[in-house]
Amino acid sequence: MLSAYRRSGADLPFGRPHRPHGVAMEGWFWRFTDVESGTVVVALAAVNRAADGRAWGTVGLAAHPGGFSRSALVDEAFAADGSLAIGDALHADPGSVRLDLGGDAQLSVELSEAVPWPRRAFGGLGVAQTIPGLSQYWHPWLLHARVRGHAVVDGRRIALDGAVAYAEKNWSNGGFPESWWWGQAHGFGDDGDACVAFAGGRAGVGPVRMLATALVVRAGGETIRLVRPLQPLRVGVDAQGWRMSGRTPGGVSVEVEGHANGTAPHSLPIPLPAQRRHREDAALQHLAGELRVVLRRRGRTVFSGTSALAGLERGNGGPGPAVGS
């Protein structure tokens, strides 16, 4: 019964949302930020199930500066409790990622000093993670880790020793939402461990849709989470930027504001699982936007910081050109 429940996408309290669920699309995403060099590298992967039940995979690599982005559709894909293998293109576990899309697109990193999602009853979506059949689930399972390794981007070797890592998982039996927004940032100055991550869109169960957003902030050794519509969280995402504000049940007010900062977006692929195809133009992510976060408790500022290497994304999962085989 538990296996069937998890195949709906849901997790019980104190479950492990980052484990595979066996749904139509399970995506993994890593982001590596090197503040000193101004470099950001992102890797993405997905295990997808076609209409005939066969698994196929998505692998992608993108980097800033330079505008590089490369992705591939892979015939074989497998995810287990502690490992992920997508053909010969990607192998990953909680402490390492190896990616190879040819000589000009490679990644080899080891992760240490990991700060995982804190031990709580619920993950990034809060109590919503227990609802079967949501159109999309999301969980930031790694909030901070130290990186050792390198990437090869457009034939150029990039050292990532000393960078910081973030990792998340998203999954669904229904593909991506009609529209969504997303963001993540490290590099907030004095608090090198601070992390902001959010994901939202038009989500729901079956034909019922509503605007939903989950916002996670880790600063000063504390992790807070706000989830709309379960909690009061104001969200505005448009051509002017990404803006969120709310208050936790513990009385911490949160303000987040992001801007593209004049940077052009990278086009990242999203899988269309049943069709065994990719949408290459659906996810537009700025790898080096600007994001500011302020936390206040009883009117007193307890954390304030700005990152100039934020990932900020807007997406559209509606009809559009698809590529693949």
- Catalogue all structural domains in the chain, each as residue range(s) with its CATH number: 2-317 (2.40.370.10)
- 25 and 57 Cβ atoms separated by less than 8 Å: no
* pLDDT number for residue 325: 33
Give the pLDDT confidence of 107-119 residue by residue, as tens digits: 999 999 999 999 9
* pLDDT number for residue 318: 57
* pLDDT number for residue 176: 81
* pLDDT number for residue 12: 95
Please give the mean pLDDT across all residues of the chain: 93
Region of 289 on the Ramachandran plot (φ > 0 left; ψ -120 to 50 alpha; else beta): beta
Beta bridge partners of 165: 32, 145
* pLDDT number for residue 268: 94
* pLDDT number for residue 320: 44
**What 3 state SS string does the chain have?**
CHHHHHHCCCCCCCCCCCCCCCCCEEEEEEEEEECCCCEEEEEEEEEEECCCCCEEEEEEEEEECCCEEEEEEECCCEECCCCEEECCCEEEECCEEEEECCCCEEEEEEEEEEEECCCCCCCCCHHHHHCCCECCEEEEEEEEEEEEEEEEECCEEEECCCCEEEEEEEEECCCCCCEEEEEEECCECCECCCEEEEEEEEEEECCEEEEEEEEEEEECCEEEEEEECCCCEEEEEECCEEEEEEECCCCEEEEEEEECCCCCCEEEEEEEHHHCEEEEEEEEEEEEEEEEEEEEECCEEEEEEEEEEEEEEEEECCCCCCEEC
* pLDDT number for residue 322: 39
Residues of the chain with confidence (pLDDT) below 70: 317-325
**Neighbour tally for 202: CB within 10 Å:** 15
- 237 and 314 Cβ atoms separated by less than 8 Å: yes
